[in-house]
């Protein structure tokens, strides 16, 4: 299939990238671009070349799927292609529509002139893949847009509006509102030819550092160090831009190439690229065509106006979908709606929303105490108290009230969605949509596929999740689905380590050093020691019979009314914004250990990380084996988007693959022996883990 079309418009050669969905610059595409350029250069009637796209975006950059082999470097590689384009002896004009990202952006920087659609966005997101622009972007963007804007773009990976680059003079012109970009680009090319406009080459430009403070790069490192902790590429990005300010272009590009190769070899790059593809793979369901017809969702209802219900509703009105919040308790409803309004006011004050956006969202928000008012909605999400009998009552009512074809979703975080579906006459329309608190902020959405959930209901829910800017992951039905089920052994192990002598602060420190946003003790205090206690009781038969002192310190804190931040005391003591260790926790732990005959000892950070993370991974292996999760990447997406697992490790299963499953298995068996009866009970390796080690395979190999 032609990946680049060639058309002559008088003396202008128009090359259009035509390789959907994103014109990614794999080897064959690079070769096609090169050969079409050579065709235009050889044609003496051609005075200028316009490089455009026939698709919805200009170009999504290098073909990331080439990164795990040598194709990315096969000639002409992207850097060679950009050097070639920049060195041509005819004017080259880039016509940027939609998005120009990564190598796509770098290609435009190698052109002589750039015209963009008003709405176009241009970015260098490579750092989000654990690498850096490797086709001259770190050298050309600082020359064209100035070091500060270039450094911001390259180190954040965030695209900017074409207008911003126009102001920085990195883009020469925007197409007028009603003007078709391609026509505007051809006209612009003719104008440049008529004006005998000069060829441009970044090699003739130096980065203007006249108004950069001496310590600019030092300060930038200091400001960004917190968010880049554990990543490798961000520092390389800064070094590359520093080089642009000091070296001639060719030397700078060579320096960039070395940094690029370094980055490509890092576990962080493998982790971040794994997450990129995993997030997209998670929306593909084995046995269901992605083209499955989905149900139109134009009006949504949310049952329950509490924290979760309100947050859930905000997702839909933010996406422009009319939403009715229903609560039988008028006062609670009023409070809930007032909370939503307040959230928007705060966002407007912070500049996250304009007042017009706030008004438009709130115009889509309705509320009622009457079920009859939601009879015509296309989808309902129930977000009432986490009790099966209450949820079943709601679903019986929804089944009576809602129109045929309406999707009935439950926001339960652990309960059996099959049991909820069973009380309706339409189990095929029932699905789980597990939002994470705060529901209007957290990107993760666990979509629970019950036994009878219809394929089109599932696919509709996945597409709707993407529309409300969530990251959907499909889970089967089990206690806790994917995320909370794996949290359970992690929490158990934390509680046990505290009895054995590790303090909450040591555990938190060890796990935040590992890269988690926070350790289990701090997370439990934040989410509520009472919340985890009640959840544990829902799952009691799986825990206490196997170990009567299961999570003993957690139960003890609950008994003492120490629920964490909400009660001012949990694992830590909270006074206002102050958080400090509570020595009484270790006294309680020592007493419990004494009572249980557990010998306390000094425990290393490594043991803390291994015992908590490896039981998490072991549970993930079991979840995979049971088919609750379709692939290991789904589990990684859950943990990186819902539980603060470090992105630069790619999720627990990617982390295990990097360590080597044989080492994980050996460590689990080691603790199984060294921890006596407790180890025998809780460190049995998952059979899938043993099988994969035997077959010398990784979790990623398992589909
Ligand atoms: N390479 C390979 N496949 C890609 C791709 C890419 N760059 N971008 C998207 N895809 C696939 C994606 O996996 C999905 O496949 C389909 O296209 C639609 O994507 C030298 C080395 C462009 C904003 O980081 O951000 O250039 O699931 O669902 O929502 O310096 O894709 O259908 O099989 O995301 O409309 C830098 C990555 C590369 C941009 C479009 N570029 N892509 O979003 O569609 S590194 C990026 C995106 C680089 C140079 C370096 C988004 C998008 P499937 P999608 P979308």
DSSP SS3 for 174 = strand
Q: Is 145 close to ligand 1, i.e. is its CB under 6 Å away?
A: no
DSSP state letters, 252-289: HHHHHHHHHHHHHTSHHHHHHHHHHHHHHHTT--TTS-
Is 370 exposed, middle or buried (CB count within 10 Å of its CB: 0-12, 13-18, 19+)?
A: exposed
| Alpha carbon distance 395, 401 (integer Å) | 10
**The tokens 């975006």 sit on which residue?**
57
pLDDT tens for each residue of 456-515? 999 999 999 999 999 999 999 999 999 999 999 999 999 999 999 999 999 999 999 999
pTM: 0.94
DSSP SS3 for 605 = helix
| pLDDT for 62 | 96
Q: Is 137 close to ligand 1, i.e. is its CB under 6 Å away?
A: yes
**pLDDT band for position 2 (cuts 50, 70, 90):** confident
Domains of the chain as residue ranges with CATH: 4-264 (3.90.226.10), 299-475 (3.40.50.720), 483-701 (1.10.1040.50)
| Alpha carbon distance 319, 323 (integer Å) | 10
Q: Is 126 close to ligand 1, i.e. is its CB under 6 Å away?
A: yes
| pLDDT for 3 | 94
Q: Look at ligand 1, atom 31, and give the residue with the nearest C-alpha.
A: 60
Q: Look at ligand 1, atom 51, and give the residue with the nearest C-alpha.
A: 60
**pLDDT higher than 80, residue 277:** yes
Q: What token pair was written down for 507? A: 């555990």
Find the 173 Cα to ligand 1 centroid distance in Å: 26
Q: What token pair was written down for 591? A: 């007493």
| Alpha carbon distance 216, 431 (integer Å) | 52
Find the 70 Cα to ligand 1 centroid distance in Å: 19
pLDDT tens for each residue of 180-220? 999 999 999 999 999 999 999 999 999 999 999 999 999 99
Assess contact for 551 and 537: CB atoms under 8 A. no
| Alpha carbon distance 673, 294 (integer Å) | 52
Q: What token pair was written down for 14? A: 């128009």
Q: Is 65 close to ligand 1, i.e. is its CB under 6 Å away?
A: yes
DSSP summary character for residue 413 = S
Find the 63 Cα to ligand 1 centroid distance in Å: 8
126 catalytic per annotation = yes
Backbone φ, ψ for residue 584 (5° rounding): -65, -25
| pLDDT for 577 | 81
Distance separating the N- and C-terminal Cα atoms of the chain: 31
| pLDDT for 69 | 82
**The tokens 């460590």 sit on which residue?**
667
Q: Is 129 close to ligand 1, i.e. is its CB under 6 Å away?
A: yes
Which atom of ligand 1 is nearest the CA belonging to 281?
27
| Alpha carbon distance 695, 116 (integer Å) | 52
| Alpha carbon distance 563, 539 (integer Å) | 19
Q: Which of 61, 68, 110, 119 to mutate to test the pocket of ligand 1 (most atoms within 8 A of CB)?
A: 61
Beta strands in 75-138 (DSSP E): 91-96, 99-101, 113-116, 121-123
**pLDDT higher than 80, residue 703:** no
- 42 CB-near residues (< 8 Å, 6+ apart): none
Q: Look at ligand 1, atom 8, and give the residue with the nearest C-alpha.
A: 60
Catalytic member of 126, 242, 610, 619: 126
Q: How many CB atoms lie within 10 A of CB 349?
A: 9
Find the 113 Cα to ligand 1 centroid distance in Å: 25
For the chain, percent of residues with pLDDT exceeding 70: 100
Q: Is 135 close to ligand 1, i.e. is its CB under 6 Å away?
A: yes
| pLDDT for 545 | 84
Q: Taking residues 609-634, report their average pLDDT.
A: 98
| pLDDT for 30 | 97
Percentage helix, strand, coil for the chain under 3-state DSSP, each rounded to 5? 55, 15, 35
Q: Is 123 close to ligand 1, i.e. is its CB under 6 Å away?
A: no
Backbone φ, ψ for residue 150 (5° rounding): -60, -45
Beta strands in 535-687 (DSSP E): 572-575, 578-581
Find the 455 Cα to ligand 1 centroid distance in Å: 26
| pLDDT for 5 | 97
Taking the CA atoms of the chain, what radius of gyration do you get in angstroms? 28
Q: Look at ligand 1, atom 27, and give the residue with the nearest C-alpha.
A: 280
| pLDDT for 534 | 87
pLDDT tens for each residue of 506-565? 999 999 999 998 999 999 999 899 988 988 888 888 888 888 788 999 999 999 999 999
Sign of CA dihedral 585, 591, 594, 595: negative
Q: What token pair was written down for 325? A: 């919040």
Assess contact for 450 and 441: CB atoms under 8 A. no
Q: Is 261 close to ligand 1, i.e. is its CB under 6 Å away?
A: no
Give 15's strand partners.
6, 51
| pLDDT for 70 | 85
Q: What token pair was written down for 528? A: 């509520």
DSSP state letters, 434-501: EE-SSTTT--EEEEE--TT--HHHHHHHHHHHHHTT-EEEEE-SSTTTTHHHHHHHHHHHHHHHHHTT
Give 474's strand partners.
447
Assess contact for 632 and 702: CB atoms under 8 A. yes
DSSP summary character for residue 135 = S
Q: Look at ligand 1, atom 52, and give the residue with the nearest C-alpha.
A: 60
pLDDT tens for each residue of 74-124? 999 999 999 999 999 999 999 999 999 999 999 999 999 999 999 999 999
Assess contact for 243 and 252: CB atoms under 8 A. yes
Q: What is the dihedral of CA 222, 225, 231, 232, to 10 degrees?
A: 10
**pLDDT band for position 283 (cuts 50, 70, 90):** very high
Find the 109 Cα to ligand 1 centroid distance in Å: 19
694 catalytic per annotation = no
| pLDDT for 280 | 95
**The tokens 């009512």 sit on which residue?**
397
Q: Is 472 close to ligand 1, i.e. is its CB under 6 Å away?
A: no
Catalytic member of 86, 106, 256, 488: 106
Q: Which of 3, 29, 57, 60 to mutate to test the pocket of ligand 1 (most atoms within 8 A of CB)?
A: 60
Q: Is 608 close to ligand 1, i.e. is its CB under 6 Å away?
A: no
pLDDT tens for each residue of 317-326? 999 999 999 9
Q: What token pair was written down for 16? A: 């259009």
Q: Spell 298-321 as b/e; 16+ CB within 10 A means b.
A: ebbbbbbbbebbbbbbbbbbbbeb
| Alpha carbon distance 143, 539 (integer Å) | 60
Helix orientation angle between 520-527 and 483-499, rounded to the nearest 10 degrees: 120
Q: Which of 17, 22, 256 to mutate to test the pocket of ligand 1 (most atoms within 8 A of CB)?
A: 22
| Alpha carbon distance 651, 665 (integer Å) | 18
Which helix (H) or strand (E) is 17 found in, with range? strand 12-17
| pLDDT for 367 | 96
Find the 53 Cα to ligand 1 centroid distance in Å: 15
Q: Is 64 close to ligand 1, i.e. is its CB under 6 Å away?
A: yes
**pLDDT higher than 80, residue 1:** no
Assess contact for 160 and 123: CB atoms under 8 A. yes
Q: Taking residues 127-152, report their average pLDDT.
A: 97
Q: Is 21 close to ligand 1, i.e. is its CB under 6 Å away?
A: yes
**pLDDT higher than 80, residue 656:** yes
Q: What token pair was written down for 297? A: 């969702």
Backbone φ, ψ for residue 471 (5° rounding): -105, 105
Q: Is 448 close to ligand 1, i.e. is its CB under 6 Å away?
A: no
Mean confidence (pLDDT) of the chain: 95
**pLDDT higher than 80, residue 178:** no
Question: 124-128, 530-534, 694-698: lowest mean pLDDT where?
Answer: 530-534
- 261 CB-near residues (< 8 Å, 6+ apart): none
**pLDDT higher than 80, residue 584:** yes
């Amino acid at each position: 299939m032609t990946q680049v079309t060639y058309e002559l418009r008088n003396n202008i050669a128009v090359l259009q990238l035509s390789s959907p969905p994103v014109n990614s610059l794999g080897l064959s595409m690079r070769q096609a671009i090169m050969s079409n350029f050579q065709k235009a250069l050889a044609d003496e009637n051609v005075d200028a070349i316009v490089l455009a796209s026939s698709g919805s975006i200009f170009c999504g950059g290098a073909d990331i799927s080439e990164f795990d082999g040598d194709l990315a470097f096969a000639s002409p590689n992207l850097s060679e292609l950009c050097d070639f384009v920049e060195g041509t002896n005819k004017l080259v004009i880039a016509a940027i529509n939609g998005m120009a990202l990564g190598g796509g952006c770098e290609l435009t920087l190698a052109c002589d002139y750039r015209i963009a659609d008003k709405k176009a966005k241009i970015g260098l997101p490579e750092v989000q893949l654990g690498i850096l622009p490797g086709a001259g972007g770190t050298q050309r963007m600082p020359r064209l847009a100035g070091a500060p804007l270039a450094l911001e773009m390259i180190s954040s990976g965030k695209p900017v509006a074409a207008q911003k680059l126009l102001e920085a003079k990195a883009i020469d012109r925007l197409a007028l509102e009603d003007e078709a970009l391609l026509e505007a680009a051809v006209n612009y090319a003719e104008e440049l030819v008529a004006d005998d406009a000069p060829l441009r080459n970044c090699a003739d430009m130096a980065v203007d550092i006249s108004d950069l403070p001496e310590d600019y790069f030092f300060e930038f490192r200091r400001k960004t160090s917190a968010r880049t902790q554990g990543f490798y590429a961000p520092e390389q990005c800064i070094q590359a831009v520093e080089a642009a300010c000091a070296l001639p272009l060719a030397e700078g590009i060579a320096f960039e190439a070395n940094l690029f190769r370094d980055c490509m070899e890092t576990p962080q790059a493998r982790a971040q690229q794994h997450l990129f593809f995993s997030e997209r793979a998670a929306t593909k369901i084995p046995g269901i065509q992605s083209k499955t017809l989905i149900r139109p969702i134009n009006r949504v209802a949310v049952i329950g106006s509490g924290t979760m219900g309100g947050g859930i509703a905000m997702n839909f009105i933010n996406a422009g979908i009319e939403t009715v919040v229903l609560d039988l308790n008028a006062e609670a409803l009023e409070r809930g709606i007032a909370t939503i309004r307040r959230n928007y006011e705060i966002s407007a004050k912070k500049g996250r929303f304009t007042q017009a956006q706030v008004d438009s969202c709130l115009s889509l928000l309705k509320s009622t105490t009457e079920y009859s008012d939601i009879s015509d909605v296309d989808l309902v999400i129930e977000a009432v108290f986490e009790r099966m009998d209450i949820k079943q009552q709601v679903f019986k009512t929804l089944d009576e009230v809602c129109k045929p074809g309406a999707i009935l979703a439950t926001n339960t975080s652990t309960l059996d969605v099959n049991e909820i579906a069973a009380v309706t006459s339409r189990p095929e329309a029932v699905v789980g949509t597990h939002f994470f608190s705060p529901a209007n902020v957290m990107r993760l959405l666990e979509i629970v596929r019950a036994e009878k959930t219809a394929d089109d209901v599932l696919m509709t829910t996945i597409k709707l999740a993407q529309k409300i800017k969530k990251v959907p992951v499909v889970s089967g039905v089990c206690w806790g689905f994917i995320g909370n089920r794996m949290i359970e052994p992690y929490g158990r192990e934390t509680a046990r380590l505290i009895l054995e002598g590790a303090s909450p602060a040591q555990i938190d420190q060890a796990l935040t050093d590992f890269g988690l946003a926070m350790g289990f003790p701090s997370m439990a205090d934040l989410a509520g020691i009472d919340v985890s206690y009640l959840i544990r009781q829902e799952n009691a038969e799986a825990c206490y019979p196997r170990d009567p002192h299961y999570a003993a310190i957690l139960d003890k804190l609950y008994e003492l009314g120490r629920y964490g931040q909400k009660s001012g005391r949990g694992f830590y003591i909270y006074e206002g914004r102050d958080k400090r260790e509570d020595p009484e926790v270790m006294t309680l732990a020592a007493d419990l250990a004494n009572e249980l005959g557990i010998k306390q000892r000094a425990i290393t950070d490594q043991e803390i990380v291994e015992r908590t993370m490896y039981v998490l991974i072991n549970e993930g292996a079991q979840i995979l084996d049971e088919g609750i999760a379709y692939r290991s990447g789904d589990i990684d997406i859950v943990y990186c988007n819902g539980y603060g697992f470090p992105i630069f490790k790619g999720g627990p299963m990617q982390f295990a693959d990097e360590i080597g499953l044989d080492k994980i298995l050996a460590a689990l068996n080691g603790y199984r022996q060294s921890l006596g009866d407790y180890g025998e009970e809780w460190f049995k390796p998952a059979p899938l883990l043993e099988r994969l080690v035997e077959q010398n395979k990784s979790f990623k190999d398992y589909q």
